[in-house]
Amino acid sequence: MRYLFSCVVVFCAFSIAAFANPLSLEGHFSQGGLVTGQTSAGAKVSLNGKMVNVSPSGLFVFGFGRNAADTAVIEIILPDGSRVSRVLEIKQRKYRTQKINGLPKEMVTPSAKTLERIREEVRNIRKARSVFTMENHFKSGFIWPSKGRISGVYGSQRILNGQPRRPHLGVDIAAPSGSPVVAASSGRVTLAENDLYFTGGTIIIHHGHGLSTVYSHLSDLVVQKGDVVSRGDLIGKIGSTGRSTGPHLDWRVNWFQERLDPMLLVGPMLR
Ligand SMILES: [Zn+2]
């Protein structure tokens, strides 16, 4: 764990603030990392050929998923039509894998009705993650939403009977049922559901520029869709709802559909 956090510090320090205007970038140039950028007002920005939303003041945000390639190209088109582009080197990470063999073959096959329910929930979650606004809530910074033992990390993958499962894309924080869960950053609640099939009591908070955080397996929700919350506000309580084997918070950070590593945003947990 100490090794992990020393890596985090190194990557925090690595920013391209040294670039003269019209492009300054700051954040983690790493798989799972979040980068915020500033360019000239009225400029357009693309990342790997895809347009990135830019606020009128020139602020923008992007992130790198678990398996992001080792380079990315950012291009700025200035209001006068001139272009500036940079190749970014993206740190490649090694993720924990855990092989478990000799498990009984039987698997739970959800019924048609359950499958239908899951599909609809997945659609709603994607919708809540797709929200884009120019709001700058994320500038309040990020804190741990709950304190406890880290029982699962970003990117890890289990291989059951030789079958790779979907990687885990959040941080799991184990804590007693009823422990408080707070908003990791200021924002607006875009989803608050008591009973989703996989994630049970679930809250999604939107922080602006496509950035959202997800809080799962909650026993109790104290906010509703549409509420505006400040960083540190109580939003719910730790539980074990949905598909969960014990009380914990599964905390995730997304940039649109890209899953980012929450730990890179908050650093070591002080308890
Ligand atoms: Zn989890």
Asked if the model's pLDDT at residue 58 lies above 70, the reply is yes
Widest pairwise Cα distance in the chain: 64
pLDDT in tens, 136-150: 899 889 999 999 999
The gap from C-alpha 118 to its chain's centroid, in whole angstroms, comes to 21
**Which 3 state secondary structure label does DSSP give 20?**
coil
Segment 187-192 shows an average pLDDT of 96
Q: How confident is the model at residue 114 (pLDDT cuts 50, 70, 90)?
A: confident
Give the per-residue pLDDT at 109.
67
Segment 121-129 shows an average pLDDT of 88
Give the per-residue pLDDT at 161.
80
Give ion ligand 1 contacts, CB < 5 A: 152, 170, 172, 250
CB 67 within 8 A of CB 30: no
Cα 261 to middle of ligand 1, angstroms = 12
Give the per-residue pLDDT at 7.
41
Cα 153 to middle of ligand 1, angstroms = 8
Asked if the model's pLDDT at residue 255 lies above 50, the reply is yes
Q: How confident is the model at residue 12 (pLDDT cuts 50, 70, 90)?
A: very low
Cα 215 to middle of ligand 1, angstroms = 10
Q: Which domains does the chain have, with CATH numbers?
A: 2-89 (2.60.40), 97-266 (2.70.70.10)
Give the per-residue pLDDT at 230.
97
Give the per-residue pLDDT at 159.
86
Cα 102 to middle of ligand 1, angstroms = 23
Phi, psi dihedrals of residue 10, rounded to the nearest 5° = -60, -45
Q: Is the torsion defined by CA of 70, 151, 8, 234 positive or negative?
A: positive
Both tokens of residue 83?
């272009």
User: Of 249 and 111, which is predicted with more confidence?
Assistant: 249
For 224-263, strand residue ranges (E) read 228-229, 234-237, 248-255, 258-260
Q: What is the mean pLDDT of the chain?
A: 88
